[in-house]
Amino acid sequence: MINLNFHSPEEEIHHPLFLEKNIRVYLKRDDLIHPFISGNKWRKLKYLLINAEEAGKKHLVTFGGIWSNHLLATACAAAKFGFKSTGIVRGEDISTDVLTFCRLFGMNLIFVDRESYRDKQTIFNKYFDTDESALFINEGGAGKEAAKGCAELIEELQQQYQHIFAACGTGTTAAGIINGLNQKPSTLFHAIPVLNGSFLKDDIKKLLRNPVNFEFHTDYTFGGYAKTKPNLIEFIADFASSAGILLDPVYTGKMMYAVFDLARKDHFKPGSNILAIHTGGLFGLLGMKEKFGKQLLQIK
Ligand SMILES: *Cc1c(COP(=O)(O)O)cnc(C)c1O
């Protein structure tokens, strides 16, 4: 039996800005769910794994880049719940901390060039056409089943929030949370895309059970996927040293930066409760440790 039930805590973040604006900000600590099956990746894998087991699939095949939180989560979850795993990795065989952990968890890695990587089904068929036990899991776990797991986050909440924030890569987590809110008019969802492109808003909409309005903030991509700027790094360092909580520069750093920026711009009514989802993924920090370290030295 696969059991991926876990309630992560909601923790209030104290900051002079929030006092001044008379708002309360909480962080849902999904980063505490598991060190490797971290944050939203745990929620996204839940029904994929349960369905895989029911369908008699024994081999998880999935896709990602050399720093993919999803590859790492899948590798660890496969080991934990008795599956074989294969990771199809975009680009050349460069050893990273994430890929080293994937290998440790027993994941078999296949490297494919960027061009072929685009057509995931063709690659899957090429290697696993005759393997009945192999299950295709899309990059990032994206899709309906993953959104279903993310929707459950809402049932766990201990109090009412007027605003909920999450970072978006594929938008699956965002869509799941919006579905979980179940058209509750008192809560507005805010999507913080971490990459440029308006397709993401449509990708979220495609996964919604009902059409619901949400805010889609395009000002916090910091130049694109996995791109950073000195003010983002400075923010992550300030937050770490004042709250004792690490954020990663790819997802949660940008999301939390948005919460602070919008608070500063009086986007929230006084008296509002705001929840930001810490979707985990701290290995993203290791992926940038050199660049990050150098910039930190310049800032401090
Ligand atoms: C993968 C990831 C996301 C993006 O989730 P989507 O469902 O693809 O939008 C957000 N935050 C972290 C830390 C992640 O690892």
Q: Please, what are the averages of pLDDT over each run of 10 residues along the chain (300 residues)?
A: 85 98 98 94 95 96 96 97 97 91 98 95 96 95 94 96 97 98 92 95 96 96 95 95 96 98 98 98 84 79
Which protein residue has the closest C-alpha to ligand 1 atom 4? 169
Using most ligand atoms within 8 A of CB, pick from 251, 252, 286 the residue to mutate for ligand 1: 251
Q: Is 252 in the pocket of ligand 1 (CB under 6 A)?
A: yes
**Tokens of residue 59, six digits:** 């081999």
Closest-CA residue to 231 (of 212, 254, 251): 254
Q: Is 62 in the pocket of ligand 1 (CB under 6 A)?
A: no
Q: Is 193 in the pocket of ligand 1 (CB under 6 A)?
A: no
Pick the atom of ligand 1 nearest to 173's CA.
7
Give the pLDDT of residue 300: 65
Using most ligand atoms within 8 A of CB, pick from 28, 34, 40 the residue to mutate for ligand 1: 40
CB 269 within 8 A of CB 275: no
Give the pLDDT of residue 237: 94
DSSP track, 174-222: HHHHHHHHTT-TT-EEEEEESS--THHHHHHHHT-SS----EE--TT-T
Q: Is 179 in the pocket of ligand 1 (CB under 6 A)?
A: no
Using most ligand atoms within 8 A of CB, pick from 165, 173, 256 the residue to mutate for ligand 1: 173
Give the pLDDT of residue 271: 98
Pick the atom of ligand 1 nearest to 248's CA.
13
Give the pLDDT of residue 299: 73
Angle between helical axes of 144-151 and 40-54 (0-180°, round to 10): 120
Q: To 10 degrees, the CA torsion angle through 123, 124, 130, 135? A: 180
